[in-house]
Structure 1
Amino acid sequence: MINFTKTAAVIGLVAGSSLGLAAIPAQAFSFGNDGIQFDKDTLVDFGFISSQGLFKSTLSVFDGTTSTVLFAETKAFDTSLTDFKGSCPKTVSSPSGNCENSFLFKSGVNYSLLLDSTPNGKVYSTTSLNNPATLQAIFTETGANSYLIAFDDRGNRNDVDFNDFKVTAEFKSVPEPTALAGLGLVAGTIALSSRRKKNQA
């Protein structure tokens, strides 16, 4: 009975801590045309939807210095009979060969999405990085922490159609070490209690 009381007390303490963490306001972040930045490490899952146009494009995450490829076209489009649309896996895939990819955005770093369309040039999702500084990507919120991102590559006499490269993005925070430790403590306490009961039987 004493062991059970101690176990319940520990679980209650950890549960209370978890509730306290849950009550903390959601993390501050920027996810749009002013840049992509989180206040803690955040994993974002990207999904390719479609591309359209005459250019062979690559979509990357740009941190101001280096670029990490999310999706790349192996050719400009599937066929001209489909209005020059590109699909996955016929035309586009991630480096692993899938139609989805993930990227871990580090805390405090301001990122942008970079669309490089050969031979038309580069455009960024961050408006201020474009030359001239024009809007080249539209972020549409589709749910809790999920977005549709549609690019215009300035092709076809700068038609501003925002259908040249489309992806989805959904993000969630990487679990905090303290939260993981709390869960481990609960599991360890329950396991210890079970072993003691077996030894007493």
Structure 2
Amino acid sequence: MNTKLLSALTATAAATALFGAGAPAQAFSFGTNGITFSQDTSVKFNFKESHGGYTSSLGIYTVKDSAATLVNTLFSETKSSDNESQNEWKGTLGNTVLGSGSAVFTFLANQIYTLGLNSGGNGSVYSTSALNSDSQQAVFGGKSSLGSALDTKTTKTFGAAGSYTDGIGSLFNGGTLISFDDRGGGNDKDFQDFTVSAEAVPEPMTMTGLALGLGGLVAARRRRASKTTS
């Protein structure tokens, strides 16, 4: 590959990377203040594990006039845990939650959403604190930071919850963890009752732009080669 073509390819890749890196700036909110985007945004969710003593389901809700309406169920438990109270009511994929454990949802531009955890007779809690009478029932944070904090938790109160209220930065950069407290155990606030990861799905336009750019560079090289031989 000649030097000019290599330089052009590098420039195209850099431009594409910058386009992708700009994605977080368009998001209004993804945390305990609500979920809102300024353009349609697809997010991939993966179930991690649960530690609630109830049979729970996690869904996406639209919010209007302080009322939440279910629009999509992401994950549902078939039982409260793998083996009753063992390992703090631990529930895992393939045992407590069936299926692939992965779901993609497209959030529509300028619509207000929240995540909601319904735990049967224990009721529902939402990722948006205002919908819980201003009680924080979910934490958001990068996989490394929040993951380490949750891994060391027991059923004791998670005192650092207030430090994990916004996942927008990591949503577009490696993914964020979201973990709920379902108000069980006297609302013990251990934030381990239902945990998922979330990561923004790259826009098809990003990859299409790179492909078109590479295609144009190859075509230009062929034209130059043709002129040289003629």
Superposition TM-score tier, normalisation by shorter sequence: 0.7 to 0.9
The structure with the larger Rg is 1
Contact 1:40–1:173 (CA under 8 A) maintained in structure 2 = no
TM-fit CA distance, 1:25: 7.4
Secondary structure at the aligned position of 2:215 is classed as helix
Task: Tell me, in whole angstroms, the C-alpha distance in 2 between the residues paired with 1:50 and 1:16.
Answer: 37
The answer to whether residue 164 in structure 2 is matched with residue 165 in structure 1 is no
Higher helix residue share = 2
Letter in 2 for 1:50: E
TM-fit CA distance, 1:26: 4.3
Secondary structure at the aligned position of 1:66 is classed as strand
TM-score (norm 2): 0.67
Task: Tell me, in whole angstroms, the C-alpha distance in 2 between the residues paired with 1:186 and 1:116.
Answer: 48
Task: Tell me, in whole angstroms, the C-alpha distance in 2 between the residues paired with 1:56 and 1:171.
Answer: 28
Q: Could you tell me which of 201, 208, 211 is aligned with 1:180? A: 208
Change (3 A) 1:80 1:23: closer
Letter in 2 for 1:151: F
Unaligned runs of 5+ in 2: 64-68, 145-169
The answer to whether residue 66 in structure 2 is matched with residue 62 in structure 1 is no
Unaligned runs of 5+ in 1: 1-7
Please name the residue that 2:142 is paired with.
141
The answer to whether residue 25 in structure 2 is matched with residue 27 in structure 1 is yes
Q: Alignment identity in percent?
A: 36
Aligned-residue RMSD, C-alpha: 3.3
Deviations 1:116-153 (A, max 9, x none): 001100110001112x3211101122364321111011
Moved more, 37-46 or 188-197: 188-197
Please name the residue that 1:151 is paired with.
180
Deviations 1:13-35 (A, max 9, x none): x9499468468574232110011
TM-score (norm 1): 0.75
Task: Tell me, in whole angstroms, the C-alpha distance in 2 between the residues paired with 1:117 and 1:189.
Answer: 55
